[in-house]
């Protein structure tokens, strides 16, 4: 079945620097890749997603890139700010046995140092 | 528009008891997903309901079960509670089966003592 690996598990960057979180997936049939942000004590919320027919998508300071050949996708956050501190989850979505399923990465704790 | 709501927010049970957690999806959403999030860890998929039927379940024992009602709200039942069942249980809903945003509830913190 599908497996999603997420790295690193913890990332500490200086405020203003960029942060990159990477995920790899195993099933080439996966075709939807969302990223969720979970702030401390809050629910996960979608911040950006990408579908397999697109290689890159940007939304202000965040961007996601997808390499279907290598089966990996990455979240890029530029000009990091204290409010970016959170746990970030990637996921890969695919249909399995006529059912749609999101397979989640283990999460990355992003720490923004002032 | 009201978001996904879960009840109760906190639940304390003793080992061996049963717990019932509830989720109300966003109006118009037919899919409900349940996840377990142990402290400091990732999201583990439990169950997926769509149009009143169980569509998929994660790698959890049968004592984790649930159902979806005609109004698309859902219940998660955990029987014979064990200490390691202590976790945050998150419910999410989406508008259609498949490639669309899932909206999460605030979760139910279950503590088994």
Read off the pLDDT of residues A61-113 as tens digits, 9 standing for 90 and up.
999 999 999 999 999 999 999 999 999 999 998 876 667 778 899 999 999 99
Q: Which of B102, B113, B62 is nearest to A100 (CA)?
A: B102
- Taking an 8 Å cut-off on Cβ atoms, the answer to whether B106 and A45 are in contact is no
Q: Chain A partners of B105 at a C-beta cutoff of 8 Å? A: 43
Interface of A with B (CB under 8 A): 31-32, 34, 42-46, 49, 51, 89, 93, 95-96, 99-107
* Sign of the dihedral defined by the CA atoms of residues A64, A69, A70, A72, in that order: positive
Q: What is the pLDDT of residue A24?
A: 97
Indicate if the pLDDT at residue B16 is higher than 80: yes
**Chain B: nearest CA to A88, how far in angstroms?**
10
Q: Are B15 and B81 in contact, with CB atoms under 8 Å apart? A: yes
- Round to the nearest angstrom and report the end-to-end CA distance of chain A: 41
Q: Are B63 and B19 in contact, with CB atoms under 8 Å apart? A: no
Q: Chain A partners of B97 at a C-beta cutoff of 8 Å? A: 100
Q: What is the pLDDT of residues B59-108, one digit of tens each?
A: 999 999 999 999 999 999 999 999 999 999 999 998 766 667 889 999 99
Q: Are B78 and B18 in contact, with CB atoms under 8 Å apart? A: yes
The Cα–Cα gap between B88 and B104 comes to: 12
Q: Which of B98, B24, B113, B105 is nearest to B55 (CA)?
A: B98
The Cα–Cα gap between B47 and B67 comes to: 9
- Taking an 8 Å cut-off on Cβ atoms, the answer to whether A43 and B90 are in contact is yes
**Three-state secondary-structure class, residue A83:** helix
Longest dimension (CA), chain B: 39
Tokens at A105, concatenated: 């990465």
- Taking an 8 Å cut-off on Cβ atoms, the answer to whether B56 and A101 are in contact is yes
The Cα–Cα gap between B100 and B93 comes to: 10
Residues 6 or more apart whose Cβ sits within 8 Å of residue B21: B6, B7, B8, B11, B75, B76, B77, B78, B89, B91, B108, B110
* Sign of the dihedral defined by the CA atoms of residues A105, A12, B39, B91, in that order: negative
Q: What is the pLDDT of residue A13?
A: 98
Instruction: Give the CA-trace dihedral at B76, B80, B85, B89, to 10 degrees.
Output: 10
Q: Chain A partners of B56 at a C-beta cutoff of 8 Å? A: 96, 99, 101
Q: What is the pLDDT of residue B18?
A: 98
């Amino acid at each position: 079945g599908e497996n999603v690996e997420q790295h690193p598990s913890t990332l500490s960057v200086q405020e203003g620097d960029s942060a990159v979180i990477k995920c790899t997936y195993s099933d080439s049939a996966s075709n939807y890749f969302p990223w969720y942000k979970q702030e401390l004590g809050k629910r996960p919320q979608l911040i950006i997603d990408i579908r397999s027919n697109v290689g890159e998508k940007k939304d202000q300071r965040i961007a996601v890139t997808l390499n279907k050949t290598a089966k990996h996708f990455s979240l890029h956050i530029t000009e990091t700010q204290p409010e970016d501190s959170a746990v970030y989850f990637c996921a890969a979505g695919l249909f399995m046995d006529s059912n749609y399923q999101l397979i989640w990465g283990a999460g990355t704790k992003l720490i923004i140092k002032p | 528009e009201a978001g996904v709501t879960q009840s109760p927010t906190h639940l304390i049970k003793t080992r061996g008891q049963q717990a019932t957690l509830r989720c109300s999806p966003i109006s118009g959403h037919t899919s409900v997903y349940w996840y377990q999030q142990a402290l400091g860890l990732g999201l583990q998929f439990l169950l997926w309901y769509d149009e009143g039927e169980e569509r998929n379940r994660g790698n959890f024992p049968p004592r984790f079960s649930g159902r979806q009602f005609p109004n698309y709200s859902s219940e998660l039942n955990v029987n014979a509670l064990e200490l390691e069942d202590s976790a945050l249980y998150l419910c999410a809903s989406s508008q259609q089966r498949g490639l669309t945003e899932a909206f999460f509830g605030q979760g139910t913190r279950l503590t088994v003592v």
